[in-house]
Amino acid sequence: MSKLKKLASQTAIYGLSTLLVRLINYGLAPIQTRVIENQADFGIISIIYAYVAFLNVVFMYGMETSFFRYASNSDDKPYIFKTANSMLILTTVLFTGLMILFANPLAAFIHYPDHPEYVILFSLIIAFDTLVNIPFAKLRLDSKPLQYLSYKLLNVLTNFSLNILFLAPAFLKDYTLFESFGFVYHPENVVLYVFTANLAASIITFLVFVPMIVRTGFGIDKPLLKQLWRYGSPLIIVGFAGIINEVIDRIMLSNYLPGSAKEVAAKVGVYSACYKIAIFMNLAVQAFRMGAEPFFFSQSKEKDAKQTYADVMLYFSIFTLIIFLVVSLNLNYFGWIIGKNFRSGIYIVPYLLVAYFLLGIFYNLSTWYKVTDNTRYATYISIFGAICTIVSTYLLIPRFDILAGALGTIVGYGSMSLASYFAGQRIYKIPYDVKKIGFYFILSLSLYLFSHYFIAPFISNSIFLIILNAGLLFVFLMTAFMLDIKNLLKKTSHV
């Protein structure tokens, strides 16, 4: 029992750290979108971070997972750490050097030929972030969750604080606020301020790990390195597929939307800012993902495991659709999260909420290949989803403008869910109540559309509109209560 309690507490801490990091990062959105008046500048930041996500996969090339795989079953963890970390240091220096050397052509490739400094800064950010990944993995392997959490918080809070510091003159409308310290705010350099804050946070986090790296030493065991590479290299494809589904929308919008580079960046800035409003669904899905995986494995040997998985899917669907309704029925009020200059794209938020809902459905449906050790299907499904995302986004951009990014994400996650469902029903049949889940989805969508098209256009009184929308939400809640939640409460009361 003590081991289980220890596992539960550590899982909670790792999950808490992930959620806190995401939440604090999202906390920058209300500030940045109010300070960064130029939509194009926010778009540039979003586009470049999308490229960073792809480059993170290249820089790591599956080494973190390989380290976990071999060090977890070895009595010589420091030796494996030394080989994995030393190799990463060598390749990171090489990759970063190449990016800095070819900063000008790379800047032209991402459509910012006049700003090679962007490439230099984000290459250094990737470099220092890469160099702490194996040390962070070692903390997890050594069962040091509190140390892991404190270092993660150090990174994100440093980045957050420096963003506040650099952007304070613009927020207070006093560009010479820190002139006595040799810093005068220039609006045209806001992208550099954001990247510099991130780089400083990454460097500080790296410095914290320097004693661990030095203490373990440097050296590469070639036979061990071959094993690490053989295990980790296929994960590059899986990593790319996963990143495509997460961030390819911004990259494709930046490349295929009509207009000048500045106009396109402005549109992507609006799109990315509105993405932040979907934080509530995103956090719910990520929290579920962190808690569900150990739960699913712990239940796999139980007689009623399949029914349990089906019940979890049903109640997850109800809960996340409530979030969908709360946000989508009150979009005008949730819009305060971002600055006024970015709210013109707020209409995409319900679509993004649906996309995250489908991602959560996919996480539920991934149970079958995890508990049956058929994880190779994760690769096939991820690649299939990535292809669907790319093709659909490309085809939809000419007609739907920035909405194409959200629609493409829906297609991607939806296709992954369908593929996982039909494959899973053949290999490990789980009795999901598809009809009831479909009913709740259609009901929530219908209530939103009814409000959007038949109530909101004709009601000018905001208080009255809130009351009517609350009534629509009540309809969903009462329906779910009568059909399912009441039974759930009865079951739990007897446990």
The domain limits of the chain are: 20-35+62-232, 247-493
Per-chain mean pLDDT for the chain: 89
| CA 343-160-93 angle, 5° bins | 110
Per cent of the chain over pLDDT 70 is: 94
pLDDT, position 2: 44
- 387-429 pLDDT, tens digit per residue, is 999 999 999 999 999 999 999 999 999 999 999 999 999 999 9
State the DSSP code for 396: H
Res 16 pLDDT > 80: no
pLDDT, position 3: 44
* 8 A C-beta contact, residue 64 and residue 289: no
Taking the alpha carbons at both ends of the chain, their separation in whole angstroms is 19
Instruction: Please report the DSSP string for 297-316 in residue order.
Output: HHHTTSTTHHHHHHHHHHHH
* 8 A C-beta contact, residue 46 and residue 314: no
Two tokens at 233?
Answer: 């290299």
- 107-126 pLDDT, tens digit per residue, is 999 989 999 999 999 999 99
Name the region of 259 (left: φ>0; alpha: ψ -120 to 50; beta: rest). Answer: left
Instruction: Please report the DSSP string for 29-80 in residue order.
Output: HHHHHHH---HHHHHHHHHHHHHHHHHHHHHHTTHHHHHHHHHTT-S-HHHH
- Cα gap 355→278, rounded to integer Å: 10
- Cα gap 58→468, rounded to integer Å: 50
Res 474 pLDDT > 90: yes
pLDDT band at 14 (very low <50, low <70, confident <90, very high): low
Q: Which residue would you say has higher pLDDT here, 11 or 45?
A: 45
474 exposed, middle or buried (CB, 10 Å; 0-12, 13-18, 19+)? Answer: exposed
Contacts of 288 (CB under 8 A, 6+ apart): 316, 360, 363
- 271-324 pLDDT, tens digit per residue, is 999 999 998 898 888 878 776 766 776 777 788 889 888 988 999 999 999 999
Closest CA to 322 of 448, 194, 153: 448
What's at 153, amino acid-wise? L
Contacts of 426 (CB under 8 A, 6+ apart): none
CB atoms closer than 10 angstroms to residue 73? 8
* 8 A C-beta contact, residue 136 and residue 148: yes
- 424-452 pLDDT, tens digit per residue, is 999 999 999 999 999 999 999 999 999 99
- 227-280 pLDDT, tens digit per residue, is 888 888 877 887 888 888 889 999 999 999 999 989 999 999 999 999 999 988
Per cent of the chain over pLDDT 90 is: 64
- 188-236 pLDDT, tens digit per residue, is 999 999 999 999 999 999 999 999 999 988 999 899 999 888 888 877 8
pLDDT, position 381: 92
What's at 122, amino acid-wise? F
pLDDT, position 120: 97
Two tokens at 424?
Answer: 């899973």
- Cα gap 54→58, rounded to integer Å: 7
- 321-376 pLDDT, tens digit per residue, is 999 999 999 998 999 999 999 999 999 999 999 999 999 999 999 888 888 878 78
Res 456 pLDDT > 80: yes
Instruction: Provide the sign of the torsion angle of the four alpha carbons 444, 450, 456, 462, taken in this order.
Output: negative
pLDDT, position 235: 74
- Cα gap 111→29, rounded to integer Å: 24
pLDDT, position 78: 82
